[in-house]
Structure 1
Amino acid sequence: MSTDTAVAPPAGPATPPVDWNRARALVHSAGRAAAPPVRHLAPADADGCTLAAGLAPVTDLPAFPTSSVDGWAVRGPAPWRVVGRVLAGAPAPALTTDGTTVEIATGAMVPAGTAAILRIEESTRTADGLVTGVPRPAPEWRLPGEEARAGEELVPAGTPVDPGVIGLAASCGLDTLAVRRPPRAALLVFGDELLTAGPPGAGRVRDALGPSVPGWLRRYGAAVAPADVVVPVADTRAAHVAALRAALDEAELVCTTGGTMHGPVDHLHPALAELGAEYVVNTVAVRPGFPMLLARLTRADGAVRFVAGLPGNPQSAVVALVSLVAPLLAGMQGRGLPHLPRVTLAAAVPGRGAYTHLALVRLDGTDGRAHPVPHVGSSMLRGLATADGFAVIPPGDAGKPGDEVSLVPLPLLPGERLR
């Protein structure tokens, strides 16, 4: 087994945390190894999947010279005698004689022998039915291969299939696409202290992760149904084991919230041991959110399942999502390790000693610089709601104004772009 996919048996709290960059690589590699098989679907049925092979046209685009206006395809000097009409979707007989023209529609095939296309609104018909006018100097048609050549890769493997990709595939003449379907995910929210309705009080807090984590998962390409979200799961080992067993029967990835430490009501580690799980990553050297984990289970039929243990504090849970779940789902969909763009800090960001610091920032729409946001405690969501992503401050370092650092963008819907 390669070092990138090596795992360890469940261990106690003394397990050293894994470097943040290495943790991302480990879980991505584990996801690639467990990627679902490639399927071939009609483009219209592939929405939400991921391309497993590059998209390339079977012919030149366009496949033949195509009129870009309504007008007259003419040969030789004016005036021109009308000898026919060419509409979109029909073959175009060649113009073989000077002084002749055919009426042509936008999108129609340009006849061989055409010297120019005269726009209909810039033409005149004489009393005896001849066409006159002055064609514009630039050609009024699209040339074969102007958009793409046959076999040219237009969209690479790993691209999410959205309506734009579907339309392009159809225009390329493709009847099927090689894709991987979205992995199915579930969410188990641990905690007797959680309320699912009403205001917090009397020692109980409102669950913020049950409503929000499924949306993050969908933005990373997973499929999550309402029935796949269980809130809350009781703080007992038996309840944890039962909930995990049920979720793992259906989902390839089960995310849990809370219970990632080793306190009196933290039952995730014992439950994973009882289920025969092995850790891909057990704690990560990142702040906030270091008591995160990813475990793997292999079923009797050989199917691989994952459990992502997210901390119970809301912002820490999102840090675990961007650190472990995003690379895992990218790997399971045949995509590369998520790219981290570079941004320039507008203000100082403290370091976290030997840990990587993921600091919430907002990108300035004017100069593009990254501004740290307030209200960023591990239990807070106010800062997260106004942020664009996390600035990455390496271990043993601090961010200074003007420093260029990596950014972990918050997940977006397919087709969206970073603000």
Structure 2
Amino acid sequence: MDHFLYRDGALYAEDVPVAEIAAAVGTPFYVYSTATLLRHFRLFDEALSGMDHLVCFAMKAASNQAILKTLAQAGAGMDVVSQGEYLRAKAAGVPGDKIVFSGVGKTAEEIHTALTGGIRQFNVESEPEMETINKVALDLGVTAPITIRVNPDVDAKTHAKIATGKSENKFGIPISRAREVYALAASMKGLEVIGIDVHIGSQLTELEPFRLAYQKVAELTETLRADGHNIRRLDLGGGLGIPYERSNDAPPLPVEYGAMVKETLGHLNVEIEIEPGRLIAGNSGIMVSKVIYVKQGEDRQFLILDGAMNDLIRPAMYEAHHDIIPVIEAEPGTEQTAYDIVGPVCESGDTFAKGRMMTPLQADDLVAFRSAGAYGAVMSSEYNSRPLIPEVLVNGDQFAVIRKRPTFDEMINRDTIPEWL
């Protein structure tokens, strides 16, 4: 469920007409719903009720400070994968003891920043990283809390570019080597081993891959405890998918996921961390774009929008589907027509949909890309020297620009010309 609904034929974001936002900020833009963000966070939080747990929002899905502050005030922790994300979380008021640092390439500088600023734990991905964390911690005279990310070699049955739990993926330590790596960690004076981390991929639409991975983690927990390690926290990652196509069967609900977690891990008396991103943010945002031209091709019609692949890259990068709807709803019974929906970037890959059935549209009409709140604005770029588009947050009948569109001068003047030119 989200809070982008038609009222009297006009699309609203909560209690604000989307067309009103478009008139105020121009197109294209992203708009997020506070009510949807909070609802989806609370669904996860409630799904794990009865267990000691923390829901950490995966910031890589959507990292605007207004979104982070909204979730943090509701009790969320943050999962970060870079120094920039860590500093964004701190700037949004998230305390260090609610920030988890993930990622395969943490640098000594990033580790230093987190250890001096406060960190809940590092999710360690390799022995060399472990050695670096240990050295930085010893240099600072502190102890770094860590989990070790194990790769359970489970097929997440998702897109190859967002699968992370198979043996050929770059993430984690093979679960078969876990005992020796944990023994190495225990020998390092600058580290405190507190748990296990696992994450098998994104946009999962079935529970069974999670179940298989968590069963392996449960067995590993018992083994490591027998070896003398105080395993008291399990970080289960994120990955639960959302229904990008409304006609498809819906992925499992958070409550079903929570029941499976309790079934597979509830007997271990551990704290559970989960790191959802897409399911919290995905349906919490839409991208709104305007039709520039309707172009008649040889055998098809093109709907040319002012939004492009640099604004929403998921269709070009992942062949991803987004429902695209008119901001002003057509009259019931209006016959639909097929469009190839494209942007103005000089790439054939700048295509959002082919042969998409839509009610007839014309220049200046507005359309909305549903389920664009995750991996939308955060993955945007200035390709073709197109300025980053605004982000807007709605709360009831109010809206605010939470990232403005830079002017062309602001964008161009970031360049520096050498003195010899």
TM-score relative to the length of structure 1: 0.29
TM-score relative to the length of structure 2: 0.29
